[in-house]
Structure 1
């Protein structure tokens, strides 16, 4: 693999590995933001528990996704890409935080690009 392509892949791998881990951990601390604010009223109404508990569950999922990007990059990057698209769709449907939805779609494209670069790396080895 070309060294520039490998450099980009490495940067993307650590970005899409570490950022979900940090965001996931913050679902327990709310240092970066109050994550429950991103839940629509309709979502909060159907939850069988407090919104903060839901966000902690989301945090665990994000931590696992980040670890997967770092350890099984191809699979993990596809997972993070899909996760970001789901978050964006949820925000679009709720009609709130549309700027965040757009950002998440762009981030999903980056994660998808990492998955494709990792796929090529895997094919080159076989």
Structure 2
């Protein structure tokens, strides 16, 4: 006995829905950005990542700040993948991760602007999670899989 899973694209009216378009933008951004930034924890091309680690956290974690950034990179890569395959849960995972980053940044002088930016990203990640609930049900009704 063979089972066939039918997957089709969302209908044109769903694709033209501004809410669905916002959902897709957020899903792509929160899938790609964590993976890119996670990979950069290993290369350091975009930033000097250990300088973003609060000294009190560096004292808590084993190893060097750079080694901590390797662990951070792995978590970020996993979070991006989770957003890609399960955006409702992945959005909340990224939001929780960003909350931790914000706490870290608020304890480092001169990083308040970065913490504020990350608060905006946290709001976007929560919005993604909420939109994923809405558009998953639309896609189920129409017979497509997200």
Fold match (TM-score > 0.5): yes
Match of 1:58 among 72, 82, 88: 72
Cα displacement string for residues 40-66 of structure 1 (whole angstroms, at most 9, x for unaligned residues): 222223332011111000000000000
Partner of 1:33 in structure 2? 47
2:73 is the counterpart of 1:88: no
Shift of 1:86: 1.3
Q: Which runs of 5+ in 1 are unaligned?
A: none
**Which region of structure 1 is more displaced relative to structure 2, 18-27 or 39-48?**
39-48
Partner of 1:122 in structure 2? 136
Using the alignment, how far apart are the partners of 2:130 and 2:28 within structure 1? 15
Using the alignment, how far apart are the partners of 1:84 and 1:50 within structure 2? 22
CA RMSD of aligned residues (A): 1.5
Match of 2:81 among 52, 62, 67: 67
For the pair shown, the structure with the greater C-alpha radius of gyration is: 2
TM-score of the pair, normalised by structure 2: 0.80
Contact persistence 2:35–2:76 (CA under 8 A): yes
In proportion to residue count, which structure has more helix?
1
Using the alignment, how far apart are the partners of 2:82 and 2:59 within structure 1? 32
Cα displacement string for residues 16-56 of structure 1 (whole angstroms, at most 9, x for unaligned residues): 11000000000000000010001122222333201111100
Using the alignment, how far apart are the partners of 2:89 and 2:53 within structure 1? 27
Shift of 1:104: 0.4
2:115 is the counterpart of 1:101: yes
Partner of 1:20 in structure 2? 34
